[in-house]
Structure 1
Amino acid sequence: MNNTLVFRALTLSLAVSFLSPAIAQNARTIASTVSPSEEQTTTSRVSDEQQARDWGLHTEEWARYRQLMQGPLGIFSPNLDPLTALGIEARSEEEGDRYAELQVQVEARRVEKTLAYQRAYDAAWQRLHPGMQRVILPSQTPGNSSTTANSTDRIAVFIKDGCAPCGLAVQQLQVSDVGFDLYMVGSRANDALIRDWAKRASINPDRVRNGSITLNHDAGRWLSLGLPGGLPAVVRQVNGQWQRQ
């Protein structure tokens, strides 16, 4: 009888010793299949929250922006920034005002950083090449163009993507056959975005090639002019001052 009990105890002990590695392996397998997914979800959630904060938005607003960009708005204007997209699709006047103010604040900070870097660049140029004259490209300053001797005769047009009146304003200028420099606000240095906009606005590519029309990134120029009103903006330099036309 005692021998039988000892045999059963040994059998149970061996069974447990064989099963334990299998149980451990199953636990590792479950962990390996579940943890990455959970980790990815957590990372995505943190990323969304961070991006929302970067634009001054709530997570719910960021989620709505992503939803909007999956619809017609994202197809027609795939590179819209969150504030412009939410502003265009604002559900009330108060909501539109909120996104407009947020965008002004974001653009102002970006311009401030851009100008600070420009000052640092200018200082570095003077230190490294004090005797060398810098070459300023025509598109760096609104109104300056190699196609005209007098910058006061040159028109600058500020537009943005997703703005129907902007396309109409540019088409009217083309009909009048005047030369102008076009600046896209909010382009984020995306060349494809401004080229696609020019195609949709039916800008004559021959006039772009010969320089009578130039396509440029705004890079904070519109805010630096400090002019009232929204876009589109057709401006000209008069007696050293930029004025809307």
Structure 2
Amino acid sequence: MATHMLSRAKPALAVAVLAALLIGLASALAGGEATSDTRLSQQRDSREFRSDEQLAQDWGLQAEDWARYRQLQQGPLGVYSPNLDPLTALGIEARSDDERRRFAELQVRAESTRVNKELAYQRAYDQAWKRLYPNLLPVTLLDAHNSSPIPQPGNGRLALFIEDDCVACNLQVKKLQATGSEFDLYMVGSDSDDTRLRRWAQRVALDPRAVRERRVTLNHDAGRWSSLGVAGNLPALVREVNGQWQRQ
């Protein structure tokens, strides 16, 4: 009888042992997954930390400056001006005159460096254009940061805003060329079509040499005319005077 009961207990014992092994394996796997998730989370946090640190260095900021910028992005400033750069954001929300002055100086240095790089590339671009397409008028490149041509209106030069199929616009261009004026020309409604802009320039006999030497620049308006807030129809010959755009 005892032998019979022992023989019946063996399968039950085997099942119990197997169940225990399966539970142990499942627990180990779960623990392994948790450990793996923890490692991934730690690696991700480390990458984010290094990224913020590098970004702060790129802007000449300290770690606490960058942390405050992140905080400002979560508040009203981030809602009203979501694309504001760190230096401007921190300068606007400066907590003291010294802090405001520091961010202003950092921004001046940063913008000076950026402009010098852009101008160096623009010179290389102009030289490449002369080599590759000596018979085509170059259209000024747009600055990817703010969609503004280089040089930008507001640099003291005359800016002439025109549109296609505009007799008065053509006459204004001829008048400026006759007086040897230097100016930046912007075609409103060009849809960033370089071919259209060049064909117009050829129709009005815009001096190719003046364009290549950048005494005259040929640009797409890219919405700039509407942003100036100057009343009246085109053509519009304007210049910035004391921060205000005025017709000339």
What CA deviation, in whole Å up to 9, does each residue of 1:168-214 have, x standing for no partner?
A: xxxxxxxxxxxxxxxxxxxxxxx89x89x94xx9x47x86x846499
Cα deviation for residue 73 of structure 1 reads: 1.6
The answer for the alignment partner of 2:104 in structure 1 is 100
CA distance in 1, matches of 2:160, 2:126: 22
Preserved contact between residue 52 and residue 62 of structure 1 (Cα < 8 Å):
yes
Q: Can you give the 5+ residue segments of structure 2 that lack an aligned partner in the other structure? A: 1-9, 142-147, 163-171, 185-221
Choose from 38, 62, 65 the match for 1:61.
Answer: 65
Give me the whole-angstrom Cα distance separating, in 2, the residues matched to 1:211 and 1:79: 33
Say if 1:235 and 1:30 are closer, same or farther in 2 by CA, change over 3 A: same
Match of 2:79 in 1: 75
Question: Structure 1 residues 213, 71: CA separation in 2 closer, same or farther (over 3 Å shift)?
Answer: farther
Q: 1:145 aligns with which of 148, 160, 175?
A: 160
Which range is displaced more, 18-27 or 80-89?
18-27
Q: What is the percent sequence identity of the aligned residues?
A: 43
Match of 2:91 among 75, 87, 90: 87
Q: CA deviation at 1:27?
A: 2.3
Aligned-pair CA distance for 1:136: 5.3
User: Hey, what does 1:48 align to over in structure 2?
Assistant: 52
Amino acid at match of 1:233: G
**CA shift for structure 1 position 15:** 8.6
Which AA in structure 2 matches 1:65? Answer: Y
Name the amino acid aligned to 1:145.
Answer: L
- How far off is 1:72 after superposition? 1.8
Equivalent-residue separation in structure 2 for 1:117 and 1:51 (angstroms): 24
RMSD: 4.0
Separation of aligned partners in 1, 2:106 and 2:137: 39
SS at match of 1:144: strand
Letter in 1 for 2:118: T
Aligned partners of 1:120 and 1:211: how far apart in 2?
A: 32
Alignment TM-score, normalising by the size of structure 1: 0.54
- Looking at structure 2, the residues matched to 53 and 125 of structure 1 have their Cα atoms a distance apart, in angstroms, of 35
> How far does the alpha carbon of each residue in 1:109-163 deviate from its partner, in whole angstroms, 9 at most, with x for none?
1111101111111111121122334355996543231445546899xxxxxxxxx
Task: Give the CA deviation at 1:23.
Answer: 4.2
- Aligned partners of 2:161 and 2:237 also within 8 Å: no
In the TM superposition, what are the counterparts of 1:197-208 in structure 2 within 5 Å? 198=227, 203=229
How far is 1:97 from its partner? 1.0
Aligned length: 169
How far apart are the structure 1 equivalents of 2:71 and 2:237? 36
